[in-house]
Structure 1
Amino acid sequence: MLDIYTIIFLALAVFIFVRLRSVLGQRTGRERPPYDPYSRDTARPPQPAPEGKVVPLPERNGPPPVAAGPVEVQAPAFRWEGVAAEGSATAAALDEIARIEPDFDAKHFLTGARAAYEMIVTAFAAGDRRQLKDLLAKDVFDGFVSAIADRESRKETMESRFVSIESADLQDVTVRGTNAQLTVRFVSKLISVTRGPDGAVVDGSPDTVADVTDVWTFARDLGTRDPNWKLVATEAAQ
């Protein structure tokens, strides 16, 4: 026999069931399954696209990427490019210098040779024996000093001023043992004038720019601590 409390609980359960049914609705068999973005929809067969509106899509598993062709390996640059012709005797002599002194740089040498050329010409004109001694081999220094002394004995003065050094090209290289000699052809524009005791011009012109070509040879012993190249021969080219 049901007591009053049991009847009240049953009535309350029926009431709650009816309210939930009205809020959540009923299953009709047409509900869509929960969406899973990582699964393929196999419940429904693919529907054909309308005629004339087929849009091709890229295949997920397309053809493998085309392998790149063989990488072209470039040959190392010619070390003496712009200084000596490849395969020439000059290039071979430069290689011999580099074998003894791996840090040798021919372009750096030519830059130094240009500076030395200008310093020697101006020092000779000024009669600066001290500066010449550091740049010239002994026999060349003796010849320059003799010419300066002869000029001074006549009480003449000389002025030389560079307008420009047009070029400084390596003309010849020889290596004998550890002694290297590099010959450079200089082409420059120079104003040079020699005046007598009274100031009158005895040679050259203070207003004329002369084209001058000189062929000078510098030498040094390789593998030594002294890095300085010295002038060992001069020649005025035509």
Structure 2
Amino acid sequence: MLVYVILLAMVAAFLALRLYSVLGKRTGHEQQPLPRAAEDRPVAQAVPRTIDVTPDVRESGPRAVETGAEGGLRQIVQADSSFDVAQFIEGAKSAYRMVLEAFWKGDRDTLAFLVEDNVRGEFESAIDAREAAGETLENRLVSIERAAITDATLTGKVARITVRFDADIAAVTRDKDGNVIAGS
């Protein structure tokens, strides 16, 4: 169980670093979005709140933003009006899935493409240990139940966004003889 907690912590660290290095960068060659007519703009939905219960998370459709991240996201949107929270979360989900699958398969080339060097080193160490023990993983990401932006900051022209994933993962680890040693 500790191995899975460490694995998920490494995946979260990888995603944070990878998203930091990939998303939100401007190269200077982007086209400015066309101004949208007022009737085409989405109408902000009011989030119901009660005096007794103040929710920690606001959800609207496929996106979730924790209250601590709202200020940082506002700064990011002010700096880059084309930034779309829902699109960012969908991209983060795709990256999360690709990293997990590459790690489970022991695909070092894909991990080298997706993660920074220090994170890749941690993944490769875990893959090496697994291979040395003769263990194989038969894991599958069943679903990502929720992806929530937990923190967002803008420092100069660099945006840093932290996303927490709640996922349903079917995990089975087999020894060199094919016997199940973890999972079911």
Where 2:104 maps in the other structure, the secondary structure is helix
Q: 1:108 aligns with which of 83, 87, 97?
A: 87
Q: Which residue does the alignment assign to 2:135?
A: 156
8 Å contact kept, 1:121–1:160? no
Look up the SS of the partner of 2:138 in the other structure.
strand
Deviations 1:185-228 (A, max 9, x none): 211211111111111112222xxxxxxxxxxxxxxxxxxxxxxx
Change (3 A) 1:151 1:136: same
Task: Decide which structure has the larger Cα Rg and report it.
Answer: 1
Distance 1:145 1:98, change over 3 A: same
How many residues are paired up? 128
Q: Please state which structure has a larger fraction of its residues in helix.
A: 2
Q: Please, what TM-score do these two structures have when normalized by structure 1?
A: 0.49
Tell me which amino acid in the other structure corresponds to 1:84. V
In 1, Cα distance between the equivalents of 2:158 and 2:44?
24
1:144-223 equivalences under 5 Å are 144-205=123-184
**1: CA distance, partners of 2:154 / 2:132:** 40
Residue among 62, 69, 84 paired with 2:65: 84
Mapped partners of 1:147, 1:194: distance in 2: 13
Q: Which amino acid aligns with 1:124?
A: F
In the other structure, the counterpart of 1:136 is: 115
Q: CA deviation at 1:106?
A: 0.9
Q: CA deviation at 1:139?
A: 1.4
Instruction: Give the structure, 1 or 2, with the largest relative contact order (CA under 8 Å, sep 6 or more).
Output: 2
Task: Verify: 1:123 aligned to 2:123, yes or no.
Answer: no
Which 5+ residue runs of structure 2 have no aligned equivalent?
1-41, 46-57
Secondary structure at the counterpart of residue 137 of structure 2: strand
Deviation of 1:89 (Å): 4.7
User: Could you list the per-position Cα deviations for residues 90-111 of structure 1 after superposition, in whole angstroms to 9, with x for gaps in the alignment?
Assistant: 2221122223322111110101
Amino acid at match of 1:172: D
Residues in 1 aligned to 2:65 and 2:146: alpha-carbon distance in whole angstroms: 15
**Following superposition of structure 1 onto structure 2, how do residues 221-232 of structure 1 map, counting pairs within 5 Å?**
none
Structure 1 residue 128, shift from structure 2 partner: 0.8
SS of 1:171's equivalent in the other structure is: strand
Aligned-residue CA RMSD (Å): 2.3
CA distance in 1, matches of 2:84, 2:179: 46
Shift of 1:81: 7.4
After TM superposition, the score normalised by the length of structure 2 is: 0.62
Stretches of structure 1 lacking an aligned partner (at least 5 in a row) = 1-75, 206-238
| Structure 1 residues 199 and 89, CA gap change in structure 2 (3 angstroms) | closer
Following the alignment from structure 1 to structure 2, what is the Cα–Cα distance between the partners of residues 174 and 136?
Answer: 21
Mapped partners of 2:68, 2:183: distance in 1: 39
Report the secondary structure of 2:152's partner residue. Answer: strand
Q: Secondary structure at the residue paired with 1:84?
A: strand
The change in CA–CA distance for 1:180 and 1:154 in structure 2 (over 3 A counts) is same
Aligned-residue identity in percent: 40
In structure 1, what is the Cα distance between the partners aligned to 2:172 and 2:59?
A: 38
